[in-house]
Amino acid sequence: MGKTISILTLVFIFLLTGLILAACIDVATITRWTRVDSHAIMVYKDTNPVALIKIPSCNILAKSVIQFSNDTVCDGDTVTVDGESCDVSKVDKFLSSKQ
């Protein structure tokens, strides 16, 4: 019984840590984005890079239309790329950004 409680406690701590550490950015202030590769974009506020957003489930072209459904984007959220719903695997927020 004690072993089961210990395992459940560790699982809970692991899940809670993942939720706390999930990176989010405020895309309402984003002024532009650039394609990094076919599955990632860099988003900017004015000329300052804010974050790298990884979208492995969709192909991103230089002329792609990317739409955010909320004012924030976090790890695990969904965005629309050229009309297709795509999962965001990772938001790497830059420390210098004040998002």
User: DSSP states of 80-92 as a string?
Assistant: EETTEEEE--EEE
Size of the chain, expressed as the number of residues it contains:
99
pLDDT in tens, the chain (99 residues): 666 665 556 445 544 444 445 589 999 999 999 999 999 999 999 999 999 999 999 999 999 999 998 999 999 999 999 999 999 999 999 875 454
Task: Say how many domains are in the chain.
Answer: 1
CA–CA dist 33, 4 (Å, integer)? 47
Strand partners, 45: 48
The SS3 call for residue 75 is: coil
Find residue 53's DSSP bridge partners.
41, 91
**Domain annotation covers residue 83:** yes
Task: Print the domain residue range for 81.
Answer: 2-93
Is residue 37 one of the residues assigned to a domain? yes
Query: From CA 94, how far away is CA 91, in angstroms rounded?
Result: 9
Alpha-carbon distance of 45 to 29, in angstroms, equals 6
